[in-house]
Amino acid sequence: MSDPTTLPRTLSFVCKALGDDVDDRRAPCRQAVLATVGDGGAARMVILRAFTPWTVEVHSDLAAAKVAQLRAEPRATLLFWLPEAQMQIRLRARFTVLAGAEVADRWTAIPDGPRRAYGGTPPPGTPLLTPDDHTYTPNRDRFAVLSGIIDSIETLHLGDIHRRAIFRRDDGFTGGWIAP
Amino acid sequence: MSDPTTLPRTLSFVCKALGDDVDDRRAPCRQAVLATVGDGGAARMVILRAFTPWTVEVHSDLAAAKVAQLRAEPRATLLFWLPEAQMQIRLRARFTVLAGAEVADRWTAIPDGPRRAYGGTPPPGTPLLTPDDHTYTPNRDRFAVLSGIIDSIETLHLGDIHRRAIFRRDDGFTGGWIAP
């Protein structure tokens, strides 16, 4: 992977890191932080399930707080940190919550084990006397896809000097440098 | 470190991980994501500079967007992910921006090299023709301490079962389990 020292190389680096090649299962960057407005700034770890230029997908339990937060304010940030590359990638996107029939194909593709993440009784955030008072009840009606349209991609590369760039939908993602 | 399978052990795990023992330089958790409300949810990597029960400190360039965002909405989240422990730690805190004489002691303790992070011409976010059009101009007047009072600590431990707990200032951080 070429050094991200030019704008086109930087954008190409991002696309490779986030796995734009669907045949490449080795995408280094599956784990991200999803930051929503919430009640004050809110954040949690998520898994990036799909990336194309210029969309993203994350899966969620429909009963999770992030779903309600994105319905109230669809704009959010997906943040990635690549320690080896010393690169921070920040995607700003507008999210739509998809569920039911429109995500039946994604549900079908999920193995039984991971389906435990969608459903669960009682729902997320309910007080429990002990952790064992929660049972996994996989439920396709509780499966949601957070589908995001990317508005901007910001990179910060901590190299010999710090290089910070921003690529915006408004400029066709041609990008420009900004002060770090 | 004991397994975080009881509430007191979970809170003790958090305190050790975030380095409540100032003599222990091996605190595993120095890197975090700071999520602010911003213009839609905003987030960036930061370094945890201090943790005590129950306060935190992060350093920033006074001209960075996060400073303006915290002045507009002081509530924010600090998110940590500990891969070895498979533990997510989420601190919700209210931040005050300190600068100038009141943080002179912290500035004095920062070596010359790292001081480059505070200052810089032009200021963060300014469009540049090339990354080289930015120069490091360490400046104590641009050094800020983001001082946070912790309102809650939420943990999610992905073990044999998923254990999620929340400890709140309001309950004296005694804590309780909640559904994951």
Tell me the nearest-neighbour CA distance from A84 into chain B, angstroms: 15
**Both tokens of residue B42?**
């905003």
Q: Which residues of B touch A34 (CB under 8 A)?
A: 41
Q: Let me know if residue A1 belongs to a domain.
A: no
Q: How far apart are CA A88 and CA A144, in angstroms?
A: 27
Task: Classify residue A108 by its DSSP letter.
Answer: H
Q: Is B78 within 8 Å of B14 (Cβ atoms)?
A: no
pLDDT reported for residue B24: 59
Whether A33 and B133 lie within 8 Å, measured CB to CB: no
DSSP state of B39: S
Identify the helix (H) or strand (E) that includes residue B57.
strand B55-61
The answer to whether position A73 is within a domain reads yes
User: Is the CB of A88 less than 8 angstroms away from the CB of B180?
Assistant: no
* Beta strand pairing call for A119-121 and A127-128: unpaired
Q: Is B119 left (phi over 0), alpha (psi -120 to 50) or beta?
A: left
Q: Is residue B110 part of a domain?
A: no
Beta-carbon separation of A45 and B88 below 8 A? yes
Alpha-carbon separation of residue A119 from A31, A35, A124 (angstroms): 21, 22, 9
Of the partner residues A76, A125, A179, the one whose CB lies closest to the CB of residue B122: A179
Residue ranges of chain B whose pLDDT lies below 70 = 1-2, 21-28
Please name the residues in contact with B83: beta carbons below 8 A apart, sequence gap of 6 or more. Answer: none
CATH number at residue B32: 2.30.110.10
Determine, for residues A73 and B40 on separate chains, whether the beta-carbon distance falls below 8 Å.
yes
Distance CA A27, CA A14 (A): 10
Cβ pair B41:A176 closer than 8 A: no
Q: Residue A119: beta bridge partners?
A: A138
The answer to whether residue A2 sits within a structural domain is no
HSE on the CB side for A130, CA within 13 Å? 5
Number of independent structural domains in chain B: 1
Structural tokens at position B107: 């500035």
Residue A37 falls inside a structural domain: yes
> End-to-end distance of chain B based on CA atoms, in angstroms?
23
- C-alpha to C-alpha distance for A5 and B132, rounded to whole angstroms: 11
- The reply to whether A11 falls in a domain is yes
Taking an 8 Å cut-off on Cβ atoms, the answer to whether B128 and A177 are in contact is: yes
Residues in chain B within 8 Å Cβ distance of A77: 35, 38, 40-43
Record: contact B43-A35, CB cut-off 8 A? yes
A44, A117 in Cβ contact below 8 A? no
Which pTM does this prediction carry? 0.95
Buried b (16+ CB within 10 A) or exposed e, B101-122: eebeebbeebeeeebebbbbee
Predicted confidence at residue A95, as pLDDT, reads: 98
pLDDT in the model for residue A2? 53
- Show the beta-strand stretches assigned E in chain A: 31-36, 42-52, 55-61, 75-82, 87-99, 119-121, 127-128, 135-138, 143-158, 162-168, 176-178
pLDDT value, residue B158: 93
A33–B132 CB contact, under 8 Å: no
Among residues 58-97 of chain A, which lie with CB inside 8 Å of chain B? Answer: 73, 75-77, 79, 81, 88, 90, 92
**CA A21 to CA B86: how far, in whole Å?**
28
- Whole-number pLDDT of residue B103: 97
- Closest alpha carbon within chain A to B132: A161
Pick the closest to residue B76 from B49, B44, B106 (CA basis).
Answer: B44
**Residue from A91, A160, A171, A178 to probe the interface with B (highest B Cβ count within 10 Å):** A178
In a domain, A121, yes or no: yes
pLDDT tens, residue order, chain A (180 aa): 557 889 999 999 999 999 876 556 566 688 999 999 988 899 999 999 999 999 999 999 999 999 999 999 999 999 999 998 999 999 999 999 999 999 999 999 999 999 999 999 999 999 999 999 999 999 999 999 999 999 999 999 998 889 999 999 999 999 999 999
Beta-carbon contacts of residue A115 (< 8 Å; ≥ 6 apart): A107, A138, A143
Q: Is residue B20 part of a domain?
A: yes
Contact across the interface for A41 and B73, Cβ inside 8 Å: yes
Judged by a CB distance cut-off of 8 A, whether residue B178 touches chain A is yes
Task: Inform me whether the C-beta atom of residue B114 falls under 8 Å from chain A C-beta atoms.
Answer: no
Beta-ladder partners of B149: B55, B94
pLDDT of residue A29: 84
Provide the pLDDT for residue A62: 98
Show the domain range for A73. Answer: 7-178
Nearest to A43 among B33, B162, B164 (CB): B33
